[in-house]
Amino acid sequence: MEPQFGNYQDEIYLAALGGVLPSLPMTFAEWEARAQGALSASLFSYVAGGAGDEATQRANAAAFQRWGLIPRMLVGATQRQLSVELFGHTLPSPLFMAPVGVVGLCAQDGHGDLATARAAARTGVPMVASTLTVDPLEQVAAEFGDTPGFFQLYTPTDRELAASLVHRAEAAGFRGIVVTLDTWVTGWRPRDLATGNFPQLRGHCLANYFSDPVFRSRLAKAPEEDPGAAILTWAQLFRSALTWDDLPWLRSLTDLPLILKGLCHPGDVRRARDAGVDGIYCSNHGGRQANGGLAALDLLPAVVEAADGLPVLFDSGVRSGTDVVKALALGATAVGVGRPYVYGLALAGTDGIVHVLRSLLTEADLLMAVDGYPTLDSLRAEGAVRRI
Protein backbone atom coordinates (compact mmCIF):
# COMPACT_ATOMS: atom_id res chain seq x y z
CA MET A 1 0.00 0.00 0.00
CA GLU A 2 1.22 3.50 -0.80
CA PRO A 3 2.40 5.49 2.25
CA GLN A 4 -0.12 8.10 3.36
CA PHE A 5 2.09 10.99 4.35
CA GLY A 6 -0.85 12.86 5.87
CA ASN A 7 -0.69 10.45 8.81
CA TYR A 8 2.07 12.62 10.30
CA GLN A 9 -0.64 15.09 11.21
CA ASP A 10 -2.44 12.38 13.19
CA GLU A 11 0.77 11.54 15.05
CA ILE A 12 1.14 15.16 16.13
CA TYR A 13 -2.48 15.50 17.30
CA LEU A 14 -2.40 12.19 19.17
CA ALA A 15 0.85 13.10 20.92
CA ALA A 16 -0.71 16.40 21.96
CA LEU A 17 -3.52 14.51 23.69
CA GLY A 18 -0.80 13.14 25.94
CA GLY A 19 0.59 16.58 26.57
CA VAL A 20 3.46 16.33 24.06
CA LEU A 21 3.59 19.30 21.70
CA PRO A 22 5.93 19.53 18.70
CA SER A 23 9.41 20.68 19.64
CA LEU A 24 9.99 22.03 16.15
CA PRO A 25 7.92 24.63 14.29
CA MET A 26 5.63 23.80 11.39
CA THR A 27 6.21 26.56 8.81
CA PHE A 28 9.07 27.87 6.69
CA ALA A 29 9.00 31.30 8.32
CA GLU A 30 9.43 29.73 11.75
CA TRP A 31 12.13 27.31 10.57
CA GLU A 32 14.07 30.23 9.13
CA ALA A 33 13.64 32.42 12.20
CA ARG A 34 14.73 29.67 14.59
CA ALA A 35 17.66 28.69 12.37
CA GLN A 36 18.92 32.26 12.42
CA GLY A 37 19.44 31.86 16.14
CA ALA A 38 21.09 28.45 15.77
CA LEU A 39 23.64 29.38 13.08
CA SER A 40 26.45 31.90 13.13
CA ALA A 41 25.52 35.21 11.51
CA SER A 42 27.84 34.65 8.56
CA LEU A 43 26.67 31.08 7.94
CA PHE A 44 23.00 31.98 8.17
CA SER A 45 23.58 34.84 5.76
CA TYR A 46 25.28 32.47 3.33
CA VAL A 47 22.34 30.06 3.38
CA ALA A 48 19.55 32.63 3.42
CA GLY A 49 21.07 35.13 1.00
CA GLY A 50 20.92 35.50 -2.75
CA ALA A 51 22.44 37.45 -5.61
CA GLY A 52 22.21 41.24 -5.90
CA ASP A 53 19.26 42.75 -4.08
CA GLU A 54 17.76 39.24 -4.00
CA ALA A 55 14.86 40.18 -6.27
CA THR A 56 15.06 36.88 -8.15
CA GLN A 57 15.15 34.94 -4.90
CA ARG A 58 11.97 36.71 -3.77
CA ALA A 59 10.41 36.24 -7.21
CA ASN A 60 11.00 32.49 -7.02
CA ALA A 61 8.96 32.23 -3.83
CA ALA A 62 6.31 34.75 -4.92
CA ALA A 63 5.70 32.94 -8.21
CA PHE A 64 3.87 30.15 -6.42
CA GLN A 65 1.21 32.65 -5.38
CA ARG A 66 0.41 33.33 -9.04
CA TRP A 67 -0.75 29.76 -9.65
CA GLY A 68 -3.90 28.32 -8.13
CA LEU A 69 -5.24 24.78 -7.86
CA ILE A 70 -8.83 24.07 -8.91
CA PRO A 71 -10.58 21.67 -6.50
CA ARG A 72 -12.34 18.58 -7.82
CA MET A 73 -15.04 17.01 -5.68
CA LEU A 74 -16.67 13.58 -5.32
CA VAL A 75 -13.61 11.70 -6.49
CA GLY A 76 -13.07 9.66 -3.33
CA ALA A 77 -9.42 10.57 -2.81
CA THR A 78 -9.15 8.52 0.37
CA GLN A 79 -5.87 6.99 -0.81
CA ARG A 80 -3.23 9.10 -2.53
CA GLN A 81 -0.46 7.80 -4.73
CA LEU A 82 2.61 10.03 -4.67
CA SER A 83 5.27 7.54 -5.74
CA VAL A 84 7.33 8.27 -8.85
CA GLU A 85 9.63 6.40 -11.18
CA LEU A 86 12.92 8.25 -11.58
CA PHE A 87 15.91 6.88 -13.49
CA GLY A 88 14.84 3.31 -12.86
CA HIS A 89 14.03 3.77 -9.17
CA THR A 90 10.63 3.76 -7.53
CA LEU A 91 10.55 6.55 -4.97
CA PRO A 92 7.82 6.87 -2.32
CA SER A 93 7.35 10.55 -3.13
CA PRO A 94 8.40 13.14 -5.74
CA LEU A 95 10.40 15.14 -3.19
CA PHE A 96 14.20 15.33 -3.13
CA MET A 97 16.81 17.36 -1.27
CA ALA A 98 18.61 19.79 -3.56
CA PRO A 99 22.40 20.18 -3.29
CA VAL A 100 23.58 22.79 -0.78
CA GLY A 101 27.32 23.34 -0.71
CA VAL A 102 27.59 24.37 2.95
CA VAL A 103 25.09 21.93 4.43
CA GLY A 104 27.97 20.14 6.13
CA LEU A 105 28.64 23.22 8.25
CA CYS A 106 25.01 23.71 9.28
CA ALA A 107 24.80 20.81 11.72
CA GLN A 108 25.76 21.46 15.30
CA ASP A 109 28.38 18.69 15.10
CA GLY A 110 29.80 19.98 11.80
CA HIS A 111 28.79 16.88 9.82
CA GLY A 112 25.64 18.02 8.10
CA ASP A 113 26.23 16.02 4.94
CA LEU A 114 26.10 12.79 6.93
CA ALA A 115 23.03 13.96 8.83
CA THR A 116 21.29 14.77 5.55
CA ALA A 117 22.13 11.36 4.11
CA ARG A 118 20.71 9.72 7.23
CA ALA A 119 17.50 11.72 6.79
CA ALA A 120 17.32 10.43 3.22
CA ALA A 121 17.60 6.88 4.54
CA ARG A 122 14.82 7.45 7.08
CA THR A 123 12.36 9.16 4.74
CA GLY A 124 13.06 7.73 1.28
CA VAL A 125 13.63 11.29 0.06
CA PRO A 126 16.79 11.29 -2.08
CA MET A 127 19.69 13.60 -1.39
CA VAL A 128 21.61 15.29 -4.17
CA ALA A 129 25.00 15.57 -2.47
CA SER A 130 27.13 18.55 -3.41
CA THR A 131 30.72 18.29 -4.57
CA LEU A 132 31.42 20.64 -1.66
CA THR A 133 31.10 18.50 1.45
CA VAL A 134 32.67 18.32 4.89
CA ASP A 135 32.92 14.53 4.69
CA PRO A 136 34.09 12.58 1.61
CA LEU A 137 31.43 11.41 -0.80
CA GLU A 138 32.08 7.76 0.05
CA GLN A 139 31.12 8.38 3.68
CA VAL A 140 28.02 10.31 2.64
CA ALA A 141 26.86 7.55 0.28
CA ALA A 142 27.35 4.94 3.00
CA GLU A 143 24.53 6.57 5.00
CA PHE A 144 21.84 6.41 2.28
CA GLY A 145 20.51 2.99 3.18
CA ASP A 146 18.03 1.86 0.52
CA THR A 147 17.34 5.40 -0.71
CA PRO A 148 19.10 6.29 -3.97
CA GLY A 149 21.44 9.26 -3.81
CA PHE A 150 22.74 11.53 -6.56
CA PHE A 151 26.07 13.29 -6.86
CA GLN A 152 26.17 16.93 -7.93
CA LEU A 153 29.28 17.79 -9.91
CA TYR A 154 30.93 21.18 -10.04
CA THR A 155 33.04 20.38 -13.08
CA PRO A 156 36.69 21.37 -12.49
CA THR A 157 38.94 22.66 -15.23
CA ASP A 158 41.11 19.55 -14.78
CA ARG A 159 39.35 16.83 -16.77
CA GLU A 160 41.24 14.05 -15.05
CA LEU A 161 40.03 15.36 -11.70
CA ALA A 162 36.47 15.56 -13.00
CA ALA A 163 36.66 11.96 -14.16
CA SER A 164 38.05 10.90 -10.80
CA LEU A 165 35.16 12.53 -8.91
CA VAL A 166 32.58 10.92 -11.17
CA HIS A 167 34.19 7.48 -10.95
CA ARG A 168 34.40 7.74 -7.18
CA ALA A 169 30.70 8.59 -7.09
CA GLU A 170 29.95 5.54 -9.23
CA ALA A 171 32.01 3.27 -7.00
CA ALA A 172 30.40 4.70 -3.86
CA GLY A 173 26.93 3.80 -5.10
CA PHE A 174 25.49 7.10 -6.26
CA ARG A 175 22.72 6.57 -8.82
CA GLY A 176 23.15 9.62 -11.04
CA ILE A 177 25.35 12.63 -11.79
CA VAL A 178 23.87 16.12 -11.63
CA VAL A 179 26.07 18.65 -13.43
CA THR A 180 25.53 22.22 -12.25
CA LEU A 181 26.00 24.65 -15.12
CA ASP A 182 25.58 28.09 -13.56
CA THR A 183 28.40 28.23 -11.02
CA TRP A 184 31.58 28.43 -13.07
CA VAL A 185 31.89 31.92 -11.57
CA THR A 186 30.44 33.08 -8.27
CA GLY A 187 27.49 35.45 -8.54
CA TRP A 188 27.41 38.89 -6.93
CA ARG A 189 26.33 38.21 -3.34
CA PRO A 190 26.35 41.38 -1.23
CA ARG A 191 25.55 39.61 2.03
CA ASP A 192 28.58 37.35 1.69
CA LEU A 193 30.79 40.17 0.45
CA ALA A 194 29.87 42.32 3.45
CA THR A 195 31.19 39.65 5.80
CA GLY A 196 34.00 38.43 3.53
CA ASN A 197 32.44 35.00 3.81
CA PHE A 198 33.50 32.44 1.19
CA PRO A 199 33.69 29.20 3.22
CA GLN A 200 35.71 27.22 0.68
CA LEU A 201 38.48 29.83 0.62
CA ARG A 202 38.78 29.17 4.35
CA GLY A 203 39.22 25.46 3.65
CA HIS A 204 35.69 24.35 4.48
CA CYS A 205 33.70 21.73 2.54
CA LEU A 206 36.65 20.58 0.42
CA ALA A 207 36.87 16.98 1.62
CA ASN A 208 36.13 15.53 -1.82
CA TYR A 209 39.11 17.36 -3.28
CA PHE A 210 41.54 16.84 -0.42
CA SER A 211 40.75 13.10 -0.43
CA ASP A 212 41.00 12.72 -4.21
CA PRO A 213 44.14 11.02 -5.56
CA VAL A 214 44.19 13.14 -8.73
CA PHE A 215 43.83 16.37 -6.80
CA ARG A 216 46.50 15.34 -4.32
CA SER A 217 48.83 14.52 -7.21
CA ARG A 218 48.62 18.17 -8.26
CA LEU A 219 50.06 19.32 -4.92
CA ALA A 220 53.66 19.62 -3.82
CA LYS A 221 52.60 18.76 -0.27
CA ALA A 222 49.59 16.94 1.13
CA PRO A 223 46.63 19.17 2.07
CA GLU A 224 47.11 18.39 5.75
CA GLU A 225 50.70 19.58 5.51
CA ASP A 226 50.04 22.77 3.54
CA PRO A 227 46.32 23.58 3.57
CA GLY A 228 46.88 27.07 2.17
CA ALA A 229 48.49 25.73 -1.00
CA ALA A 230 45.76 23.10 -1.35
CA ILE A 231 43.05 25.75 -1.10
CA LEU A 232 44.80 27.87 -3.72
CA THR A 233 45.02 24.89 -6.06
CA TRP A 234 41.32 24.19 -5.52
CA ALA A 235 40.46 27.79 -6.38
CA GLN A 236 42.47 27.52 -9.58
CA LEU A 237 40.80 24.26 -10.64
CA PHE A 238 37.23 24.76 -9.43
CA ARG A 239 35.70 26.86 -12.18
CA SER A 240 35.09 25.41 -15.62
CA ALA A 241 32.93 27.39 -18.04
CA LEU A 242 31.38 24.45 -19.84
CA THR A 243 30.15 24.68 -23.42
CA TRP A 244 28.05 22.40 -25.60
CA ASP A 245 31.30 21.02 -26.98
CA ASP A 246 32.06 19.58 -23.53
CA LEU A 247 28.83 17.59 -23.37
CA PRO A 248 30.04 14.52 -25.30
CA TRP A 249 33.01 14.29 -22.93
CA LEU A 250 30.75 14.55 -19.87
CA ARG A 251 28.46 11.91 -21.33
CA SER A 252 31.45 9.62 -21.89
CA LEU A 253 32.50 9.72 -18.23
CA THR A 254 29.70 7.53 -16.91
CA ASP A 255 26.87 5.17 -17.69
CA LEU A 256 24.93 6.63 -14.77
CA PRO A 257 22.03 8.95 -15.58
CA LEU A 258 23.36 12.38 -16.52
CA ILE A 259 21.22 15.34 -15.43
CA LEU A 260 21.99 18.95 -16.37
CA LYS A 261 21.10 21.48 -13.66
CA GLY A 262 20.26 25.07 -14.51
CA LEU A 263 18.40 24.63 -17.80
CA CYS A 264 15.56 27.15 -18.04
CA HIS A 265 15.38 28.00 -21.76
CA PRO A 266 13.42 25.59 -24.00
CA GLY A 267 16.11 25.81 -26.68
CA ASP A 268 18.76 24.66 -24.23
CA VAL A 269 16.50 21.86 -23.06
CA ARG A 270 15.95 20.59 -26.59
CA ARG A 271 19.67 20.72 -27.34
CA ALA A 272 20.50 18.82 -24.16
CA ARG A 273 17.83 16.23 -24.93
CA ASP A 274 19.20 15.73 -28.42
CA ALA A 275 22.72 15.33 -26.97
CA GLY A 276 21.65 12.31 -24.95
CA VAL A 277 21.27 13.54 -21.38
CA ASP A 278 18.95 11.55 -19.16
CA GLY A 279 17.28 14.34 -17.22
CA ILE A 280 16.63 18.07 -17.16
CA TYR A 281 16.94 20.09 -13.95
CA CYS A 282 15.04 23.38 -14.15
CA SER A 283 16.53 25.74 -11.57
CA ASN A 284 17.98 29.21 -11.19
CA HIS A 285 20.01 28.19 -8.14
CA GLY A 286 17.33 29.56 -5.85
CA GLY A 287 18.33 33.09 -6.85
CA ARG A 288 21.81 32.70 -5.40
CA GLN A 289 23.77 33.03 -8.62
CA ALA A 290 22.04 35.53 -10.89
CA ASN A 291 19.71 38.39 -10.06
CA GLY A 292 17.21 40.00 -12.41
CA GLY A 293 15.83 36.78 -13.82
CA LEU A 294 12.37 35.31 -14.17
CA ALA A 295 11.02 33.03 -11.49
CA ALA A 296 11.97 29.44 -12.20
CA LEU A 297 8.40 28.24 -11.67
CA ASP A 298 7.12 30.45 -14.48
CA LEU A 299 9.65 28.86 -16.82
CA LEU A 300 8.82 25.29 -15.82
CA PRO A 301 5.89 24.59 -18.20
CA ALA A 302 7.94 25.47 -21.30
CA VAL A 303 10.87 23.43 -20.00
CA VAL A 304 8.60 20.39 -19.50
CA GLU A 305 7.22 20.75 -23.02
CA ALA A 306 10.70 21.01 -24.53
CA ALA A 307 11.91 18.01 -22.49
CA ASP A 308 9.41 15.91 -24.45
CA GLY A 309 9.17 13.08 -21.97
CA LEU A 310 12.55 13.34 -20.25
CA PRO A 311 12.31 13.60 -16.46
CA VAL A 312 12.29 17.20 -15.30
CA LEU A 313 13.61 17.94 -11.83
CA PHE A 314 12.76 21.35 -10.39
CA ASP A 315 13.83 23.59 -7.53
CA SER A 316 13.94 27.31 -6.62
CA GLY A 317 11.55 28.96 -4.21
CA VAL A 318 9.93 25.82 -2.76
CA ARG A 319 8.88 26.66 0.79
CA SER A 320 5.86 24.44 1.49
CA GLY A 321 4.00 21.31 0.56
CA THR A 322 1.57 23.47 -1.39
CA ASP A 323 4.50 24.72 -3.46
CA VAL A 324 5.50 21.12 -4.15
CA VAL A 325 2.02 20.29 -5.42
CA LYS A 326 1.91 23.32 -7.70
CA ALA A 327 5.29 22.47 -9.25
CA LEU A 328 4.08 18.91 -9.84
CA ALA A 329 0.87 20.20 -11.41
CA LEU A 330 2.97 22.27 -13.81
CA GLY A 331 4.78 19.17 -14.97
CA ALA A 332 7.80 18.59 -12.72
CA THR A 333 8.70 14.92 -12.29
CA ALA A 334 10.37 15.57 -8.94
CA VAL A 335 10.62 18.68 -6.79
CA GLY A 336 13.67 19.75 -4.82
CA VAL A 337 13.72 21.60 -1.54
CA GLY A 338 16.79 23.46 -0.31
CA ARG A 339 16.73 26.08 2.44
CA PRO A 340 13.86 24.47 4.43
CA TYR A 341 15.72 21.23 5.09
CA VAL A 342 18.94 23.11 5.88
CA TYR A 343 17.06 25.07 8.53
CA GLY A 344 15.68 21.83 9.95
CA LEU A 345 19.23 20.49 10.08
CA ALA A 346 20.43 23.55 11.96
CA LEU A 347 17.67 23.13 14.53
CA ALA A 348 17.82 19.41 15.25
CA GLY A 349 20.19 17.55 12.96
CA THR A 350 18.78 14.50 11.20
CA ASP A 351 15.60 14.66 13.28
CA GLY A 352 15.10 18.26 12.19
CA ILE A 353 15.43 17.37 8.50
CA VAL A 354 13.04 14.44 8.90
CA HIS A 355 10.50 16.76 10.53
CA VAL A 356 10.74 19.29 7.71
CA LEU A 357 10.45 16.65 4.99
CA ARG A 358 7.52 14.93 6.67
CA SER A 359 5.81 18.29 7.17
CA LEU A 360 6.17 19.16 3.49
CA LEU A 361 4.93 15.76 2.38
CA THR A 362 2.03 15.83 4.84
CA GLU A 363 0.89 19.22 3.57
CA ALA A 364 1.19 18.04 -0.04
CA ASP A 365 -0.69 14.80 0.66
CA LEU A 366 -3.53 16.49 2.55
CA LEU A 367 -3.86 19.19 -0.11
CA MET A 368 -4.23 16.55 -2.81
CA ALA A 369 -6.84 14.79 -0.67
CA VAL A 370 -8.92 17.88 0.00
CA ASP A 371 -8.69 19.16 -3.57
CA GLY A 372 -9.54 15.78 -5.06
CA TYR A 373 -6.34 14.73 -6.77
CA PRO A 374 -5.56 11.16 -5.70
CA THR A 375 -2.67 10.65 -8.13
CA LEU A 376 0.09 12.69 -9.70
CA ASP A 377 -1.40 11.95 -13.12
CA SER A 378 -4.71 13.47 -12.08
CA LEU A 379 -2.88 16.49 -10.71
CA ARG A 380 -1.10 16.99 -14.02
CA ALA A 381 -4.28 16.69 -16.07
CA GLU A 382 -5.43 19.75 -17.97
CA GLY A 383 -7.34 22.17 -15.78
CA ALA A 384 -5.81 21.24 -12.41
CA VAL A 385 -3.88 24.49 -12.04
CA ARG A 386 -4.46 27.95 -13.44
CA ARG A 387 -2.45 31.15 -13.48
CA ILE A 388 -4.10 33.73 -11.24
User: Binding site: which residues?
Assistant: 46, 99-101, 130, 152, 154, 180, 189, 261, 283, 285, 288, 315-319, 338-339
Q: Are 130 and 152 in contact (CB under 8 A)?
A: yes
| Residue 279 CA: distances (Å) to CA of 77, 86, 275, 315 | 31, 9, 11, 14
Please indicate whether residue 285 is annotated as part of the active site: yes
Give me the phi and psi of 351, to 5 degrees please: -60, -35
| Residue 312 CA: distances (Å) to CA of 64, 107, 304, 336, 381 | 18, 30, 6, 11, 17
- 154: CB partners within 8 A, 6+ apart: 130, 131, 132, 180, 183, 238
Give me the phi and psi of 314, to 5 degrees please: -140, 140
Q: How many CB atoms lie within 10 A of CB 291?
A: 20
Q: Which of the residues 89, 111, 167, 285 is marked catalytic?
A: 285
CA-CA-CA-CA torsion for 184, 136, 34, 288, nearest 10 degrees? 10
CA distance linking residue 160 with residue 156, whole number of Å: 9
Annotated binding site for glyoxylate: 46, 154, 189, 285, 288
CA distance linking residue 96 with residue 212, whole number of Å: 27
CA distance linking residue 275 with residue 258, whole number of Å: 11
CA distance linking residue 354 with residue 125, whole number of Å: 9
Task: Name the residues annotated as catalytic.
Answer: 285
